[in-house]
Amino acid sequence: MDNEPRTAVGFWIESPKGAQWTNQGMTRLVGFLIEGVAIGRRYIFRVVVTDDIRDEAEADLETLMAEKGVDYTIHSPRDADMEAESFQELAEFANVHVNVAGWISIFPNQSSAVCLHAPFSTIFPDAIGLAYHDFSDPAWNITGHHVLWRERVSDHLQSSNCVITFSRHVAEDHVKHFFGVEEERIRVIPHAPPTLEGVLPFLKGGARTEESRYRAACLMRRHATERGWTYLADFPFEHVPYIAVSTQDRVTKNIRIVVDAIDRLVRSRHSNFKMFMTAHLHFGTHWTPMPGMIEQMQLNFDVLSMPDLPRDVHAAFYHCAELAVHPSVFEGGRGLFPAGNGRKLPAFGSDVLQRSAAG
């Protein structure tokens, strides 16, 4: 097996200028798949990105349990002394300089995938914008973001060899219902439960000990110092019980209910529970109720944000937590994609949390 040539498969990724690579859901999935082929040793992934995001993507991939040049390669136009001002030009670079048997497009709205010469398949995580509406007029006029997204996805899916979903409900309710894709072009491939096991070298079998909590807390304090989070630079993560919430603040992620639970725990039960989340806090915004709730309830030192955590600090974030909550009303897969704690930790949905807050 080791002496046989590996089949090369390309990842097609359209990252607009200013986009983030690290800690995004689908780029995490790319990392998981690369680590999977490192174990199977039958395939090699060739990741194509823009020059703008190349350095961040390369640095992130180098943290994987996979060998660069053996399990994956990364490519951008600068490798060929080219410039790509558009994703169509990026596809021209890929067609000439990246030899693969086929491509995987990680989003269904990556319209320039149709310019690739080799066959491509499309990962379809969900159609949140069509299932959970933004009811503002600008979203649905002729140039509204929902309208344009739907048009791009529709054009993309017509050319895709197959559409990959993580669950049957997305295949039926989103891919078929919204876009009319035929059953024979749909493949339902549930993703495995993510894990951060092995990221923390001092963690044995996921067991939590005083020493492991201390070492994990030291990782978090060091990172807080590096990021300038002064309140957390000497915070006793290993001693103060906290709820860990690792997800972005979106319409389907009901984070505000966790904030409400913390408020009740602190004020009514006089508990010292805190909440740490990886979602960004944007005070003064109105598209999400959470920042306003934190200000109104004066929970600024009880509900705190720790965004963009590296893999080892993210694992430490879970390891020190007393409880993990994923307050989601919808998931595109059959389980929690943001989870991955390296130890057995209870994770509850919104219904359980609401009963806890009400109690």
Pair of tokens at residue 235: 């915070």
Domain ranges of the chain: 7-188, 210-358
- DSSP assignment string, 119-185: -EEEE----HHHHS---SHHHHSTT-HHHHHHHHHHHHHHH-SEEEESSHHHIIIIIIHHH---GGG
The pTM assigned to this predicted structure is 0.78
Distance CA 98, CA 71 (A): 15
The CATH superfamily of 7-188 is Glycogen Phosphorylase B; (3.40.50.2000)
Is there a common fold for 7-188 and 210-358?
A: yes
Distance CA 313, CA 68 (A): 23
The end-to-end CA distance of the chain, in Å, is 58
The torsion of the CA quartet 345, 346, 348, 352, rounded to 10 degrees, works out to -150
Three-point CA angle 322, 268, 301, nearest 5°: 55
Q: What is the pLDDT along the chain (359 residues), one digit of tens a residue?
A: 556 789 999 999 999 888 888 877 788 889 989 999 999 999 999 999 999 999 999 999 998 889 999 999 999 999 999 999 999 999 999 999 999 999 999 999 999 999 999 999 999 999 988 888 777 777 788 888 888 999 999 999 999 999 999 999 999 999 999 999 999 999 999 877 766 667 888 887 778 899 999 999 999 999 999 999 999 999 999 999 999 999 888 777 888 889 999 999 998 888 889 999 999 888 877 777 788 888 888 999 999 999 989 888 998 999 999 999 988 888 787 666 555 433 333 333 333 333 333 33
Q: DSSP secondary-structure letter at 31?
A: H
**What's the chain's Rg over C-alpha atoms?**
22
CB-CB contact of 337 with 191 (8 Å): yes
CATH of 210-358, one of 3.10.450, 4.10.860, 3.40.50, 1.10.10: 3.40.50
143 residue type, one letter: T
Buried (b) or exposed (e) across 15-27, using 16+ Cβ within 10 A? beeeeebbbbeeb
